Structures are given as C-alpha cells and as structure tokens.
Structure 1
C-alpha cells in the first residue's frame, strides 16, 4: 500500500512533542522516510529497468548462436552435464537459432511493455521468467550484473511499479488528471520496499567489507592496478591519466562511498540524495571506462528508488510537457482498464485487494529475511547451516568485485585460424595476423561475455574446449572467403604488477575440415 503522511497527526506531534504517545508515530514516520519509496521513484526505476533489459538483450543477441545454440560453445548435452536443472530452460528446448530468436523477441516485447508501464506486473513477471531462462541457458557467461538484474526485477515485481508515469496509471483512471492536492511526499512502504532497498544495500555493504579485508584498497593502490588491465578497458578505458596520486584518490573515494553506503537507508533527504547521486555518477563513469557488461548501468538503475521526493518534484516539473503529451496519446489509445487489469494483479485467482497486499507483503518479508541471512553467511558473520552449505557456499559471493585484491595479470587471448591458402586470421575479430603470431599480439576479448567464457573454460575439460574450437572454426569460416583448415587458441597472462612477464597457456587446437 502507499502510505501517506497525515498532516493532522504531524501537527499533533509538534504540539505534544514530549509525550510518550507521540514516540511511536514519530518512529513510524522515520521508518517510512527511510524504508518507503516515492511512487515516482518506482516509476523511474521501472522505465530504466525495462531499458536495461532491452540493452542486455541487444548485446546478447550479437552472439546468439555462440552462446545459446547447439552450434555454439555450449551445446545442450554439455549444459545438461554441467547444470542438470538448466536443461529445463525455455531457451534449451531447442538448439537451433530460429527457435531461440523468438524468445529474444518476446523478452524484448515484455521489456518494452515494462518500460511503458503497460500491464506492468504481467510484463515484469514475463521478463523475470525469460531472464531466468536465458541466464540458465549459459551460466558460464554470467557476471555480477546478471545476478543483480534478476534480483532487482524480482523485488520490483512485488512493488507497484505501474502506479505512476505509466500507460496503466493513465488508462486505469480513465485519463483523469491526478489530483494536485494529493501530497507529493506519499511513499510506498512495507516489506516490499524494504526488500528492494536491501537488495541494493547488500551489494555495497558486502563489497565494502570484502575490500577492507584486503590490502590494495586500504592502501589506495587498487584503482591503478585495475586500469593497468587492458582487457578491462571500455570505450574510454585508456583516457584516465597515469597519475598515481589521482588514481589513489579515486580508490579512496570509491572505498569511502562503499563504507558510507549504509547511509542510503539510515539517512534521508538531501544526505541520501547526495550519496545516491555520487554512486550513480561513479557507476556511469565505470560504464565508459571498464568492460564489465551491464553491471555498472544496472547498479545505477538500482539506486533510483533511493532518491527522495524533492528530486521527483523537480523531475515532474521539468518533464510536465512531455508527460501531458503522453497522457493525451494514451487517453485515445483504447478503452480504459479497470484497476486490477491496470496493475496486472491477482484478481483473476479470486483474491481481493487486501488479501493480495498481505500475500505480497508476506512473500517480501520471507525474501527479506532470507536475503539478510544469506548476506550475513556470505560475510562470515554467522555460519551457514549444513543443509545450506551442502547446496551452495554463501561465501562465494557475486559482490566481491576486484576484492579483496584486484587481479594482477592482464588476461588476453590468441585465437588464430589458418586458412587453406596458408593465411592467418584472428578467429574472434577476423583481421589478418602474422604467420608466427607472437604472445605480444594477444588481444582483449570482443565482449565481457567472451572474456567470462574463456576465464571459466578449463583446459582439462576436453568436451567444452572442443565445442569452443568447433564454434570458432565456423566463426572463422564466416569471417574469411577462404576455407578454414584449423583453429588454435591460447591464453596469455601478463604480469602488470611486476616485470611484465607474459605466460602463454595453450587452450587447444582443432582441425576444421
């Protein structure tokens, strides 16, 4: 439910500030300010979440055959062998690209509907199912950003994401304008909002604790080490100046933001807005300088629910003309929806609104307790019970990015295809290379997912190595007019913290004909 500040109660509290009866009301108001979320913040979160889902799909689609079909690096028999439950993924029902591509299109349609706020809860549920299925199809190309994306989407599913700035909101009230007397400081508060905020906070707190346990971050050396890793360079990765003092300041600044992250919930108002704004700016700078997939962008999206009402007051003022045009366009689109349909509710299963609210709150409360317990076990605050440890190790957290110490070796790749004419081309990029290709010619990876694939490819797993080489044979054939004879792959590690020594590790060679 969306809880509203009671002005009369506020006046009574002011008049009788010392009374014991006023303390619970003040405590509730303080908790609502910290754990509640402005409905407009949820709307901005929904729009950005839909956009990120679309971007993620577009980036994955570039390598649809490579990562999600039997002609790629992980055919379904190998997937079933490595992850038996993953064979139930919708994306694993067929190994052909023509069967997987429609699922990408369906996920894109659901993400677009989510961004527009059309049948919002249904769109969010469909997006979550298809995202989980897509991630299960190839777990070997996932990173922390993928984990955060489904967690935010799952927590958002329990919140009224379509209450504002959405097609549902306009059509559900027949296009009537929102009453201007309704307080702009209303907040959606409850276990659902607490869960969404805790998902975000757990990332920063966990990362802060792990970084403080190492030596590089407290010494201010970590950022300089990270920027020496050329395989992580994003579009602007080579631009940061090679200034130890500046890079040390960046390391201390980021560590300070992580340590201060509990204020995202403990504080309110301008302090919270300032801290969230700094974190958003830091994440967006990472998106341009580091090749780490969608993690930076989805982290920035996760911070949107933390911005307080005054930020959205200003946003609505600036966006009023565009909002008016959108409302007019939606008004004439079709018949108004009833409230249950507008939010994609559970009315179809016979649950009234109070019952649905209690059910969603109970589910969120259970998930919140589980998340807090899992985070505590992952940080070693409490021990993991035997049944939990037997299934998964909470200590193997996804939130230890570059912690406790950043990598000290630059991880590069040599993927060389030999054609029937005796020429050599790079099997990943397609350009000509030297006949005797030296380790110094090793390159970074085309995408963060290719890097993840090769980093999780054991040389002693003959089946997975052979599947990768077979796909590179097909890939090289499409990059050259000449027939491909063979493909050879080696990884090259360059020590960036010492003498720059290069170590070459052979991955494998395969005849393509």
Structure 2
C-alpha cells in the first residue's frame, strides 16, 4: 500500500487508506451486532419501550427528551408497534449484512438505531454511541463495494485501497474514543495511586469470574491500571504514523482485541466489548486480508454454486441512494465534493464536541456554545467516552424488591418471590436479566433520577399480579443494600436504603391504564 502513496500528500494519506475488504468485514460485523442488539432489546419490548413499562411516553418527554431528537419508536406506546419496528430494523440489518441495496440499508438502519436509542436513553451505554457512529460513517464508506450482493453483478474494483474524507473520519473516530476515554480518567486512582481496577473489581454488580481471579493481587491490579491508562492515551498515535502502516495497524488491532477480550471475562459490560472489537475491523491491512481470503477461498468456491436470487425491488427515484447508472464525470466531481465537504465538516464538529467534553482540555470554560449542540443531538453524532471516569463508581450494592403479601409475608421479587434475605447474593450480576437492566438500575440510584422510581415500582407490581399463581401483594419497597467500596480490601457494612415504596392500584385503575395504553 505504501508504495502506491508517494510524495508529500501521498505520505500524509497513508494512515487513512483502507482496504475495501476490511470495510466489507466492518459492514458485516456491524450488521451482526445490530441484530444481536435488537435480539437483546426485544426481550423487553413492553418494559423499556411501551407505555405500560418503566418509561411511558409522557414521562420520556417530560424528563429526558430534547427538542432536536426524533424517534419513530416514540410514535406509539403499544408494545405491538415496537415489535413491528424491531422486525423492520432486523430485516434492514440482514440486508446490510448481505450488502443488498447497501447504502439504503445503512441509512435506514442508522435511522432506526437512533430511533430506538432515543426512545429510552436510561438504558444506554458507551457502546451504543460507537455503534451509532459506525453506521453514521458507514453511510459515506464504500463498504458494499466488495463481498456484497450488490457487487455480484459489478466488475471487480481496479484497486482495493481506498481513501476519502470518510476513511479519515473513521480512523479519527477510533482514536478519539481511546484518547477521550483516557483524558476523562483524570482522577488520582488512574493517574497516581493505580487503584482504579481494584475499585472496578470491587463492584459486585460488574464482577465476572476473571475479575475474581485478579482481584486478590493488588500489585498486578496496579500495573494493569497504569497499562490501561497509558495504552488508551498513547496507542492511538500509532494509527497516524505514515511509515510501516500495516505493522502499526496489526499491533493496534491485536493489542485492542486482547484488551477487550480481557474486559469481557472480568467485567459485565454487555455488548460494549463486542462493539469495540467490531469497530477495529476496518483497520485490517491488506496482509491480514490476503491471509483471510486465502483461508476462506475453499468455502467461497463451494458457495459459488449457490444460485439463489433476491428480488430486484426497483425503488422509487426519491429513495434511490445507490447508483442506477454511471453519472457523468462532471456530476461525479460535484457529488464527491459535496460528500467530502459534508463529512469533513461533520468530523470537525465531532472533534469539537469531544474537545468540549474533556474538561482537562478546556480549563477556562466550555468550548461549544449551547446553540451549536443542535447538530449533534439531531444527527446523534454526540458522544461521551467516560468509562470509569473521572474515577470509578464506588456506591456498590444490590437490590431487594421487598414485597409484602396479603398474609404478611415478605418476599423478594428480584429473586422470583423467594423469602426476603438481606445477605449479599453469591453473584450480584445474576440478579440482572441483561446489561440494559443493569444500566437502568445504575441510573435508578442517582438522586437526579428520583423521578424514575415510582414508575419502576408500579411496573414491578403490575407484572407480578399478571400471573394468577402469584400471591397478592399489599406493598412493595425497592431497597438498595448500599455497600461502599473501601480501600485496602476493607469491607463496608451494607446500609439499607429504601428508594421507593408503592401499593397496588385498584383493579379498575389498572384496567383503565391498559385501555389507555391500547
């Protein structure tokens, strides 16, 4: 690749030249993650996206809505409507995976991903920002040019290397993620004492078996803390070196793959580690892709005999985002100039947003004035990479859903109605159905989010009483057994904090609520 980019400008372009096959892998993996995300979210259609769940539409608009946001999922409070949108999003993700009407599938998948994230921001995490940005930059990348259904009837590209403003944006976005993650970690436990991972592994809500093995070794944790901090701060610079590009990229991808695999076995972070690993695939150099295609060649040859056809599905001209005929040379230049200008300006805006987000880079005040934030909120290029920053959260603990039955027994709805027990569970992580619920429970603790509490309390009562086999309840208290993480392996005595109390509504009121929901 480097020999094809000589001269001053050619050398400057080298770090941003990507292989079309790497972009195809990025497309396939991104679509697969979208499908996985939809599958996990679909298990809570009513709870997270319908009016009968924890965030009714009226409450969404009152507390966590921006005038610049849009959401198709907020058009209806019915779970059936959400199911229809989820099926549509899944179908579009399959088309994106196959590379069928790739540009249109990318744009539509991005719209629906933004829509579902806007519907319930209380369950979002950093990986959601990255997945959203992969689809956004993917709209301007030729990630359907090879290894796609669209490419079957087109001649193979003359060159596999590709450079544009979008490739620059993609590489810079990856670097911004890790740079900002490090710069936001400005607490002493990251920069001086090296105790950040000790505190992270003290969080029973996140701790997995791999973390339990590392936790008893303070010197190892201290070394891993500093290694994590400096890796995130320094490693992205390797992406911009114009000499030995393929080796630097292989190193970056290899180190970060290992890093995120380590996270996956030590901390419960949902899809975060998978999305981060997927985001790196577009960086793979031709050397790695030549090896991969060589290994895959026998399987491709066997699949070549498959003659299945997808319908042509001619689209109305207003919806055609792919070329149906070759434009003139003049039109190509104009369209490319418009696209490159838009991508460059958006990338500048994204850099501005991230600079404004990192306090250490703006010691004299905000860099972005409030009126300028509309673009980021509308197109959802807003982003925040504050993972365990500026310090690790130390208010650890576990939930008890202390319900009182009609015969005055106390049961825990968080453990399927077992008798209430105040001792810590062997694995606190097991109390969460999935990471979306873990994130919701984390947000539930904040005093600023106290408005969330009665909706969750009433939702728990309602779904309990929907099962006729369950004992009737007269009262429910959502209790947090707070166990603050202490230094030097000291263990704090849990403190019982009642976050919310509620009683079942009369049956007639519940019926009226269901009618309104429908």
TM superposition score normalised by structure 1: 0.84
Q: CA RMSD in A?
A: 3.2
Choose which of 327, 331, 351 in structure 2 pairs with 1:372: 351
Choose which of 288, 296, 319 in structure 1 pairs with 2:296: 319
Structure 1, 258-267 or 416-425: larger mean CA deviation: 416-425
Distance 1:349 1:493, change over 3 A: farther
1:54 Cα deviation after fit: 0.8
**In the aligned structure 2, how far is the partner of 1:476 from the partner of 1:376?**
47
Distance 1:367 1:462, change over 3 A: closer
Choose which of 151, 174, 188 in structure 1 pairs with 2:133: 151
Choose which of 466, 482, 488 in structure 1 pairs with 2:471: 482
- Say whether residues 1:450 and 2:437 are aligned partners: yes
1:139 Cα deviation after fit: 1.1
Structure 1 partner of 2:19: 38
Q: Is the 8 A contact 1:79 1:87 kept in 2?
A: no
Write the deviation string for residues 195-251 of structure 1: whole angstroms up to 9, x where unpaired: 111111101011122225533344322112211111012475434352122222322
Alignment of 1:199-348 (within 5 A): 199-212=173-186, 214-234=188-208, 236-240=210-214, 242-267=216-241, 268-329=245-306, 331-333=307-309, 344-345=321-322
Distance 1:272 1:460, change over 3 A: closer
Structure 1 partner of 2:496: 504
- Say whether residues 1:28 and 2:5 are aligned partners: no
Structure 1, 120-129 or 497-506: larger mean CA deviation: 497-506
Q: Is the 8 A contact 1:418 1:424 kept in 2?
A: yes
Structure 2 partner of 1:190: 164
Structure 1, 457-466 or 57-66: larger mean CA deviation: 457-466
Distance 1:416 1:324, change over 3 A: farther
- Say whether residues 1:115 and 2:102 are aligned partners: no
**In the aligned structure 1, how far is the partner of 2:254 from the partner of 2:266?**
19
Q: Is the 8 A contact 1:217 1:405 kept in 2?
A: no
Distance 1:326 1:121, change over 3 A: farther
Alignment of 1:457-472 (within 5 A): 457=444, 464-472=452-460
1:372 Cα deviation after fit: 1.5
**In the aligned structure 2, how far is the partner of 1:469 from the partner of 1:251?**
38
1:256 Cα deviation after fit: 2.9
Distance 1:460 1:407, change over 3 A: closer
Write the deviation string for residues 130-168 of structure 1: whole angstroms up to 9, x where unpaired: 111101111111111111111111011110110111111
Structure 1, 140-149 or 372-381: larger mean CA deviation: 372-381
Q: Is the 8 A contact 2:401 2:414 kept in 1?
A: yes
1:120 Cα deviation after fit: 1.0
Q: Is the 8 A contact 1:68 1:137 kept in 2?
A: yes
Distance 1:290 1:314, change over 3 A: same
Q: Secondary structure at the match of 1:512?
A: coil
Distance 1:489 1:265, change over 3 A: same
Structure 1, 52-61 or 163-172: larger mean CA deviation: 163-172
Structure 1 partner of 2:33: 52
**In the aligned structure 2, how far is the partner of 1:460 from the partner of 1:303?**
36
**In the aligned structure 2, how far is the partner of 1:307 from the partner of 1:215?**
34
Give structure 1 stretches of 5+ with no counterpart: 11-24
Distance 1:244 1:141, change over 3 A: same
**In the aligned structure 1, how far is the partner of 2:409 from the partner of 2:327?**
68
Distance 1:229 1:470, change over 3 A: same
Distance 1:425 1:123, change over 3 A: farther
1:407 Cα deviation after fit: 1.8
Write the deviation string for residues 249-293 of structure 1: whole angstroms up to 9, x where unpaired: 322222232122233422312122112211012112212322222
Q: Is the 8 A contact 1:418 1:486 kept in 2?
A: yes
Write the deviation string for residues 393-437 of structure 1: whole angstroms up to 9, x where unpaired: 9xx962121122212231421122333354444323414033xx4
Structure 1 partner of 2:83: 101
Q: Secondary structure at the match of 1:456?
A: helix
Q: Secondary structure at the match of 1:170?
A: coil
Structure 1, 83-92 or 286-295: larger mean CA deviation: 83-92
Q: Is the 8 A contact 2:186 2:391 kept in 1?
A: no
